[in-house]
Amino acid sequence: MMPRNFLAGLAVMMLALMAASCATTTSANLATGMTPDQTVQAMGQPDLKDNIPDPNHSGASVLRYVWLDSGKAAVFGSDGRLASVQTVETDSKQKLEEEQIAARRAPESFDPINTPLNYLFFPIKAGFIYLGAGANCVGGGSCQKPHLPPPSAS
């Protein structure tokens, strides 16, 4: 009897989680004709509130709300209703991290002559770098471990 109650409770919890996740994803939709209060209810407080020149060239300024996390901007018309929803490109922290990871994964070009020579002479290059850092320290400069470039760098 115990496993049946456990499975029933687990099923109820899963249904509750699914309902909650569906409720949060559908509430973030913006539709034309919404008021500023309705957009705040749907998306939360905007990250940026400003007035921009009317895109319809009427000479007036209109209200714009921007949500950086979702990448959306809501431009309201002169009547105070949502006129258009735009996608905003942001340089978010996650995007920058993804670009850095992609740059690390990018294969370096292999030069059949230069690459083996770079690896062959790397100990000599590293020695000169450390010798220069030691001379800098003795001469009154900063005493710190030098940064070595990768062996494949020319």
What's the whole-model pTM score? 0.44
Q: Does domain 31-106 have CATH number 3.10.450?
A: no
Contacts of 90 (CB under 8 A, 6+ apart): 68, 71
The pLDDT of residue 108:
66
Give me the residue spans of the domains in the chain: 1-29, 31-106, 108-154
Write down the H helix ranges in the chain. 2-26, 36-43, 93-105, 114-120, 122-138
The pLDDT of residue 25:
37
Report pLDDT digits (tens) over 19-59: 555 444 333 588 889 999 999 999 899 988 998 888 777 77
Is the pLDDT score of 100 beyond 60? yes
Question: What percent of the chain is predicted at pLDDT more than 90?
Answer: 24
